[in-house]
Structure 1
């Protein structure tokens, strides 16, 4: 049986960076990625994608110098974002975070970014086996290895491989992660119950659309999000500018939600009185474009789908984790990274940056026989980001259209006359609304302090 020091399951950003860091630190490393064909890459690659926007401070979270990211990865530099409610809106031109990148952020080509991470991993000496998936993982807790438990991976071709350490990075679908971690969970409290994709994920859908030049100019350096237009916790459409006059128009919504689950369907601009079920992703996008631009443009003629982009004929569907993260069973020599552990977020549309950083940490610690420190180290690196996302997601969980208008009006008051749109510029003079928002945020952050945002802790595992 083939034996390696570090095996990585999954070839997204967490898996690729884990393989690169493990190999760079001298470990014999192999990465397994099932791989799917895409119309925007020549070879097989990871299945999942996202709207592929990068904020300024996210680059620092990834632990990259922005200058080293290849030019062909970046599609459009951004100057701000616009949040649009049913009757109110707010613009932000700064994230308010210290960052080395000099602008608000950028949109990027996900497949090219993935390919760059693969090149780095290969250059470091990792063995990338794209097109070979893992079908099963079993852990030997009684291994005679002086480094503790070992793992047997059964591959999709029937072969088996033994690894001292495993990094699980199979994304929000968690095909291997769930069964692998359930080996160590107490009766009645399985990881599968807590992270089952239909329960713990959102579904996202996006289309690549070609906009008329004069219309594209209106948002060529701006991200646009519509809140309170469609029902569901953290359900919202967006427009992300790409290269040329192409933009990605997409949305995220809960899996399995039904029209009868909506208390007040008449309040949502993208629902029609004639609906007998919730619209599909493509229908939602058509309705959004008609609502915003239908008075001046024929949507299908003037803003057509660009069929040679994305995964398939100009469209993409993919899962996003929408749950709180879990710790890893490091006592079993396993680290879970990225979307598989729940660090990505439907609230801010994905989490490429936290996937990269957790992957880097897992790979480095596995290669240096220090994996027992993983849960502490990833919390120090991305804990503040996770805490922000979890806290804000809690605040807006039950928001309806009127609540979004109130929130955006309050944020506008908080900004005051500031030219840099800093949210906290008028914290104490923006009135009761600002006090309510900040109070709710501080309360939730306090409740989740010291890593309490983790829903399954290291101590919960049984070995």
Structure 2
């Protein structure tokens, strides 16, 4: 049987950075990625898990210098973002966070970014086995050591295992259940249908006069579901990704007031498909003057297939890892979150880097504390925001955006000023709710399954 120091399951941002860090610290490292085909990639590679936007301070969370990211990865530099409600809207031209990157952020080509991370891992000496899936993993606690059974039946033994199989968690759930109490399962916390959202996006060519190359755009309160929203992300040329995210398995019976959502119709007998939602959004925004299918054509050579892609997004709170068994879970597999409870390329990169370094230096027992110090503020902040808006309906979004505009005051850069009294009762309510929820998650309480709950 083949033996290695560190085995990594999953080749997305968490897995690739874990492999680079482990190999660069001298560990014999192998990464397994089953691979999916994409029309914008020559070979199979990791699945896409986000709409590929990067805010300024997220680059610092990734622990990269922005100058080292290849030019061909970055598509458009951003100046801000627009949040659109049913009757109100707000512009944000700063994240309000200290950051080394001089712009609001940028959109990027996800497959090229993944490929760059793979190149870094290979250059560091990691063995990347893309196109090779893992069937299962079993842990012997006497080592500890791990036996990986590959899709072809071969086996491999590793001293350390890093689970980075993304929000689908094909291997992670069973691997962690080895250490849960009888009658319980980690799936109670990380089951993909319950813990994830589903995202769908299309690559559309926009008319020149409508293409906003330096702004993101989000529509809130237009479709039902906790943190469900459509978006437009500018790509290269005049191509934009028009997409949405929504809960998995939602039905119209779950919606209290379907008539209040602009993207629902009285004739609907179910929740619309992603493609139908996008068609309705474009018709609503531009249909008076443009023929959507002719003037906003799908660019079929982009994305996974025929200019479209569907993918899961982690939309839950994270779990800690059973480090006593020499296992670390990183990125979407562990439930790390980003803005409004969605996935997060940046936190996947950072947790992968930490897991790889600590595994290679026989220090994995520190993983749970180290990743919380690195990304805990980000998770705590976003989980708190997600709690606040969880029950929002269209009117609530309008109220929130009007209040935020008042909080911005006369600021030229679109930032939110800190003096709540200048914006009245609404601002005080938002800030009080945020502080209360953030306080509730202090000292790592945003973790939903802690290390001491594992049984070895």
Give the TM interval when normalised to the shorter protein: over 0.9
- Determine the structure 2 residue equivalent to 1:315: 308
Q: Deviations over 1:200-226 (max 9, x none)?
A: 10000000000010111xx21000000
- Determine the structure 1 residue equivalent to 2:107: 107
Cα displacement (A) at 1:282: 0.2
Q: Describe the SS at the equivalent of 1:429.
A: helix
- Determine the structure 1 residue equivalent to 2:278: 285
Cα displacement (A) at 1:420: 1.5
Map 1:112-131 onto structure 2 (within 5 A): 112-131=112-131
Tell me which of 166, 174, 191 is aligned to 1:179: 174
Counterpart-to-counterpart distance in 2, 1:9 and 1:378: 19
Map 1:328-343 onto structure 2 (within 5 A): 328-343=321-336
Q: Deviations over 1:129-177 (max 9, x none)?
A: 000010000000123xxxxx10000001110000000000000000000
- Determine the structure 2 residue equivalent to 1:146: none
- Determine the structure 2 residue equivalent to 1:40: 40
- Determine the structure 1 residue equivalent to 2:96: 96
Counterpart-to-counterpart distance in 2, 1:244 and 1:296: 22
Counterpart-to-counterpart distance in 1, 2:297 and 2:384: 38
Cα displacement (A) at 1:427: 2.4
Counterpart-to-counterpart distance in 2, 1:290 and 1:17: 41
Cα displacement (A) at 1:348: 6.0
Map 1:210-221 onto structure 2 (within 5 A): 210-216=205-211, 219-221=212-214
Counterpart-to-counterpart distance in 1, 2:288 and 2:67: 42
Q: Describe the SS at the equivalent of 2:226.
A: coil
8 Å contact 1:416–1:425 — kept in the other structure?
no
1:254 aligns with 2:247: yes
Q: Deviations over 1:30-68 (max 9, x none)?
A: 000000111001011012331000000000000000000
8 Å contact 1:415–1:426 — kept in the other structure?
no
Counterpart-to-counterpart distance in 2, 1:99 and 1:201: 29
- Determine the structure 2 residue equivalent to 1:461: 454
Cα displacement (A) at 1:349: 4.4
8 Å contact 2:315–2:341 — kept in the other structure?
no
Counterpart-to-counterpart distance in 2, 1:11 and 1:458: 25
Cα displacement (A) at 1:345: 4.0
8 Å contact 2:77–2:107 — kept in the other structure?
yes
Q: Describe the SS at the equivalent of 1:347.
A: helix
Count of aligned residue pairs for this structure pair: 456
- Determine the structure 2 residue equivalent to 1:61: 61
- Determine the structure 1 residue equivalent to 2:424: 431
Counterpart-to-counterpart distance in 1, 2:416 and 2:152: 54
Q: Deviations over 1:258-311 (max 9, x none)?
A: 011111000000000111111000000000000000011000000010000000
Q: Deviations over 1:351-394 (max 9, x none)?
A: 00000000000000000000000000000000000001100000
Counterpart-to-counterpart distance in 2, 1:302 and 1:341: 41
1:151 aligns with 2:146: yes
- Determine the structure 1 residue equivalent to 2:18: 18
Counterpart-to-counterpart distance in 1, 2:161 and 2:44: 23
- Determine the structure 2 residue equivalent to 1:324: 317
8 Å contact 1:53–1:240 — kept in the other structure?
yes
Q: Describe the SS at the equivalent of 1:392.
A: helix
- Determine the structure 2 residue equivalent to 1:234: 227
8 Å contact 1:208–1:305 — kept in the other structure?
yes
1:417 aligns with 2:413: no
1:197 aligns with 2:192: yes
8 Å contact 2:49–2:313 — kept in the other structure?
no
Q: Deviations over 1:178-221 (max 9, x none)?
A: 000000011233101211100110000000000010111xx210
Q: Describe the SS at the equivalent of 1:431.
A: helix
Counterpart-to-counterpart distance in 1, 2:309 and 2:226: 21
TM-score (norm. length: structure 1): 0.98
- Determine the structure 2 residue equivalent to 1:372: 365
Tell me which of 338, 342, 345 is aligned to 1:352: 345
Counterpart-to-counterpart distance in 1, 2:237 and 2:337: 29
Counterpart-to-counterpart distance in 2, 1:282 and 1:347: 23
Q: Deviations over 1:304-338 (max 9, x none)?
A: 10000000000000000111000000000000000
Counterpart-to-counterpart distance in 2, 1:349 and 1:160: 35
Cα displacement (A) at 1:110: 0.2
- Determine the structure 1 residue equivalent to 2:299: 306
**Structure 2: 5+ residue stretches without partners:** none
- Determine the structure 2 residue equivalent to 1:208: 203
RMSD (CA atoms)? 0.8
Q: Describe the SS at the equivalent of 1:430.
A: helix
1:169 aligns with 2:181: no
Cα displacement (A) at 1:428: 2.5
8 Å contact 1:413–1:430 — kept in the other structure?
yes
